[in-house]
Structure 1
């Protein structure tokens, strides 16, 4: 701090000044005309940090939203279990007859195994029970994979196309619902918690990977399967039924 700010209150000829700098103030001493000494203090303001914008409060989920999430995660978990079992059963006969498909089948299986791991973790983290239909879906998925695998490449790919069509729609509906929650929270000046924001990203990524599997299946002549219409219709109806049951049981 310069002495310029105190010049107007100092009078007379040049007077001896004594100064001492402390953490809170800069002090000046001067001698008055009557010989007394006075102390002039000019407080040095303590620098204050720029105020940080307040984070919006976290949204509290309603009971209906909590139930929706529990149901959705339970279905996702069961669906990814089924996918890994279908590929596990299909791979031996398909790769034996068509060795060039080994990398593709492994790629799709590895992604499904990653999806299953994600939802297995989320169920454990949030203490959500798996579906009570777990043993039945385990057996049905294994049988479906083995049956379409021995029917040949086209039938196996038709199975993938049918399953991924239903699962893709299911994941897409979840993304829309979670984004609706996000929009409503923002309108109230709130924000979804980190867990829900991460879940939206995970479901979007998994949905996109499932739809890639659908594209791969179509590219490998899924629609050439015989009887394609019957396979597609029965498998898709079975998936819808399994989703409906798993949401409730």
Structure 2
């Protein structure tokens, strides 16, 4: 019997990879809901962007519910960091909204840029092997790209110190992805 090569996965590795994908995707959708909740808490329901933020939050909630169901069907546990993402997501949303509507939209644009990249990598890794998961990821990715485009059209790039703000949020998002896959 030969040992698996680095190019061939160990038995069970693909299932573990899919579990990590589901765990991080569910955590990301949950975090997005909390970010939008923080933004809406600051901006209120009378701001012109509030209706659009609420619409995006509703889509994120649908994504989260779908991943919750897939996790339950497949016996995948959520990240242990969920309580942290609950607070951190709301705080990020509120903090960026306090900087102004363009900063709130910069937050959305930055996060959705990372999620687009993240989902693209997941789709490449999955290939045709798990059509239920890849189908959900592809559908949700399209909506995340639309969120990014909406945020940019709403003035995300006009936020104070946009390149710095965007870069910091994107770094935080990549860190959250890495942590949620493992913990």
Q: Please confirm whether the aligned pair reaches a TM-score higher than 0.5, indicating the same fold.
A: yes
What does 1:59-70 correspond to in 2, within 5 Å? Answer: 62-70=11-19
Partner of 1:85: 34
> 5+ residue gaps in structure 2?
1-9
Q: Give the CA deviation at 1:93.
A: 2.7
Q: Confirm or deny: 8 A CA contact 1:95 1:101 kept in the other structure.
A: no
| Greater relative CO (CA pairs within 8 A, separation 6+) | 2
Q: Bigger radius of gyration, 1 or 2?
A: 1
Q: Give the CA deviation at 1:138.
A: 1.2
Q: Confirm or deny: 8 A CA contact 2:93 2:104 kept in the other structure.
A: yes
C-alpha separation in 2, matches of 1:238 and 1:173: 18
Q: Confirm or deny: 8 A CA contact 2:39 2:96 kept in the other structure.
A: yes
Q: Give the CA deviation at 1:132.
A: 1.1
* Structure 2 residue corresponding to 1:76, chosen from 25, 38, 60: 25
Partner of 1:144: 92
RMSD of aligned alpha carbons: 1.5
Aligned pair count reads: 174
Partner of 2:3: none
* More helix by percentage: 2
C-alpha separation in 2, matches of 1:206 and 1:62: 29
Q: Give the CA deviation at 1:220.
A: 0.5
Q: Does 1:105 align with 2:53?
A: yes
Q: Give the CA deviation at 1:94.
A: 2.5
Partner of 1:201: 135
Partner of 1:241: 175
Q: Does 1:123 align with 2:57?
A: no
Q: 1:92–1:134: structure 2 CA closer, same or farther, 3 Å change rule?
A: closer
TM-score, structure 1 length as denominator?
A: 0.67
**SS of equivalent to 2:89:** helix
* More strand by percentage: 1
TM-score, structure 2 length as denominator?
A: 0.90
C-alpha separation in 2, matches of 1:212 and 1:94: 21
Q: Does 1:169 align with 2:103?
A: no
Deviations 1:48-89 (A, max 9, x none): xxxxxxxxxxxxx94111111011110001100000000011
